[in-house]
Structure 1
Amino acid sequence: MTTPLPERAGRRCHNVLNSLHSAHYFSPDLGRELAAVGIADERAAYFAARAAAMGAVGAGTVTATFYNFRHGLVAEHVPGVWDKASPETVLAARLRAVDATLRRLLGAELIASDEVAEAARLALRAAEACDATARPLYAAHADLPVPEAPHLALWHAATLLREHRGDGHLAALLDAELDPVEALVSHTATGRGMAPKWALGTRGWSRRDWEAASGRLRERGLLDTEGELTEAGVALRQDIEARTDRLDRAPYEHLGAAGVERLTEIGKGLLMTAFANGAFPEGMIGKE
């Protein structure tokens, strides 16, 4: 008989693995590797790196699956980016960038450690229970081969778990009737989302778009005049995360309470080392 998971254990584990996965997006290694295959623009590099598993898709597919990017920004780079490098070329460049990033952030000794190998086994075991139904980004990545090197296998599994939860999260956002900008504004208002300057700078929205979305949230009673979440707004964001937890529970139930705890423990140690070595830009998260 399996031990029930503690409340939010899956979410906590995901948050750690998601950060480990995401570090390569902020790494100079990704830009260097993709520039070497013809993709020099950093926004094009992001769209290509994350979308390549789906093949040479168009702007509509990328906008739909990424959710909170302005379609016009996506269309500036997709599908044109595939004329510069095929999805297969991008995927190979991305994996080289991940390898370089993790080696730089974690160091050779940690990369070769038993803990990284153990974390890879645990994360891959959790990913066995992911469900591809209505999860296009997860399903596309699930079709990719698992890298042999343990640190890359861990990253691959973290990617599967991240996109599995992410696809489910979009369903929760749709059910909550939050459009892409409203989702960004309300998440930022929790204090755990991307700071406005980062959201606007990377997602392609204008300050006018941000203020209009804030106005719509105020009309719904979710945001106050100071830009803070109201009681109803807090409740809605909590409900969105709880719904996402339910849609994402299978991998962590499959791994079991002890496995989830151990994977979270190892992942936290790796993430702390990565943070200490400059994995993420300062000021990226917050309300300012």
Structure 2
Amino acid sequence: MTPPLGPPARQCQKALNTLHSTVYFSPDLGRELAGRGVDDPMDWYLAGRAAALGRVGPGVVTAVFHTFRYDLIARHLPALWDRVPPEQALAARLRAADATLRRVLGQEALTARPMRDAARLALRAVEACGRPGRPLYAAHADQPVPEEPHLALWYAATLLREHRGDSHVTALCAAGLDGIEALVSHCASDEGMPREVVMTKRGWTKEDWDAAEERLRERGLMAADGTLTPRGVRLRRELEEETDRGDREPYRHLGPAGVAELTRITEEFVRKAAASGAFPPELQGFFLPPARRPDAGPSADLTKT
């Protein structure tokens, strides 16, 4: 069996994903779309992330996103595309990423050597990504590479995020976890966010959540108090390892030195973005690199994920 990705590459991916995620907490995409009568935050999210798939309906988006309730997506798609066609949504998203990064990183950082180096390394990693079985990655990979270094880095970070995300959905389906079971088990893990943060934002009700917990208990994955059993902890670990295997080629192609350098630079950008208010205060602990989290001591393990 091929060994999993390993902590250094997973840490690199996490830093890139965090940098990419700045746009989800930014007002800039909402401002870009406001002129088209698009004022719902879920519309903003869907317009940005799903537009690369084209003028698709709720079935396709639910399938590739996996952890969102179909009924929530169906309230927005395909009607959203009548107000903002996918190609215009993609252009708006890139303008929003530009505005966000300029604000949270500062103008000087956008063209300095660290940014150019990070863009070069991230784009090199993308060279080894694979399209088969990865619909969301493949759709975004069809978009052109921006010329500006900061946008090229954000573009590459987006591709690497969706490449791992598609690999993770494959692992979840193989493990027999539907969308809400995947979400519930992740929230119960050491790495998960509180359910209050994610449940309603993905369309689920308390009844949905309780029913998913009961199904996980029937499989021996969750205890009566809502924590994971040893079997559940093991399953979550195996899911991450299987995802690592599906996501290994970009980081293998980049090599250990390139992975370490890209991680170092990107984590510095993430710290600067966080200091500029890029993430909600209650979520900063989930996005800051471990050594700089408010609750992390001087011996925090940067390789632990």
Fold conserved between structures, TM > 0.5: yes
Gaps of 5+ in 1: none
1:121 — aligned with what?
Answer: 120
TM-score by length of 1: 0.95
Code of the aligned partner of 1:96: R
1:277 — aligned with what?
Answer: 276
- Contact 2:15-2:267 within 8 A present in 1 as well: yes
Q: Which moved more, 1:184-193 or 1:246-255?
A: 184-193
1:16 — aligned with what?
Answer: 15
Query: Structure 1 residue 284: deviation in Å?
Result: 4.0
How many residues were matched structurally?
A: 284
1:243 — aligned with what?
Answer: 242
Query: Structure 1 residue 5: deviation in Å?
Result: 10
CA offsets per residue over residues 247-276 of structure 1, 9 Å max, x none? Answer: 000000000110000000101100111111
Q: Quote the Cα distance in structure 2 between the aligned partners of 1:110 and 1:5.
A: 34
2:252 — aligned with what?
Answer: 253
- Contact 1:31-1:40 within 8 A present in 2 as well: yes
1:34 — aligned with what?
Answer: 33
1:131 — aligned with what?
Answer: 130
- Contact 2:221-2:232 within 8 A present in 1 as well: yes
- Contact 1:198-1:284 within 8 A present in 2 as well: no
1:99 — aligned with what?
Answer: 98
Q: 1:152 to 1:214 in 2, by over 3 A?
A: same
Query: Structure 1 residue 228: deviation in Å?
Result: 1.1
Q: 1:119 to 1:245 in 2, by over 3 A?
A: same
Gaps of 5+ in 2: 287-305
Q: 1:5 to 1:233 in 2, by over 3 A?
A: closer
Percent of pairs with identical residues: 57
State the secondary structure of the residue aligned to 2:191. coil
Code of the aligned partner of 2:140: H
Query: Structure 1 residue 44: deviation in Å?
Result: 1.2
Q: Quote the Cα distance in structure 1 between the aligned partners of 2:80 and 2:10.
A: 34
1:49 — aligned with what?
Answer: 48
Q: 1:283 to 1:227 in 2, by over 3 A?
A: farther
Q: Quote the Cα distance in structure 1 between the aligned partners of 2:250 and 2:22.
A: 22
CA offsets per residue over residues 123-159 of structure 1, 9 Å max, x none? Answer: 0000000000011000001100000000000000000
State the secondary structure of the residue aligned to 2:97. helix
- Contact 2:5-2:241 within 8 A present in 1 as well: no
CA offsets per residue over residues 57-88 of structure 1, 9 Å max, x none? Answer: 11111110111111001000000000001111
Q: Quote the Cα distance in structure 2 between the aligned partners of 1:149 and 1:168.
A: 29
Q: Quote the Cα distance in structure 2 between the aligned partners of 1:227 and 1:60.
A: 30
- Contact 1:24-1:101 within 8 A present in 2 as well: yes
Q: Quote the Cα distance in structure 1 between the aligned partners of 2:183 and 2:284.
A: 12
State the secondary structure of the residue aligned to 1:283. helix
Code of the aligned partner of 2:269: L
- Contact 1:37-1:89 within 8 A present in 2 as well: no
- Contact 1:214-1:227 within 8 A present in 2 as well: yes
- Contact 1:120-1:153 within 8 A present in 2 as well: yes
2:151 — aligned with what?
Answer: 152
Q: 1:92 to 1:159 in 2, by over 3 A?
A: same
Q: Quote the Cα distance in structure 2 between the aligned partners of 1:285 and 1:30.
A: 21
- Contact 2:118-2:153 within 8 A present in 1 as well: yes
Q: Quote the Cα distance in structure 1 between the aligned partners of 2:26 and 2:285.
A: 20
TM-score by length of 2: 0.90
CA offsets per residue over residues 220-260 of structure 1, 9 Å max, x none? Answer: 11111221111111100000000000000000000011000
Q: 1:226 to 1:123 in 2, by over 3 A?
A: same
Aligned-CA RMSD value: 1.7
Q: Which moved more, 1:62-71 or 1:214-223?
A: 214-223
2:221 — aligned with what?
Answer: 222
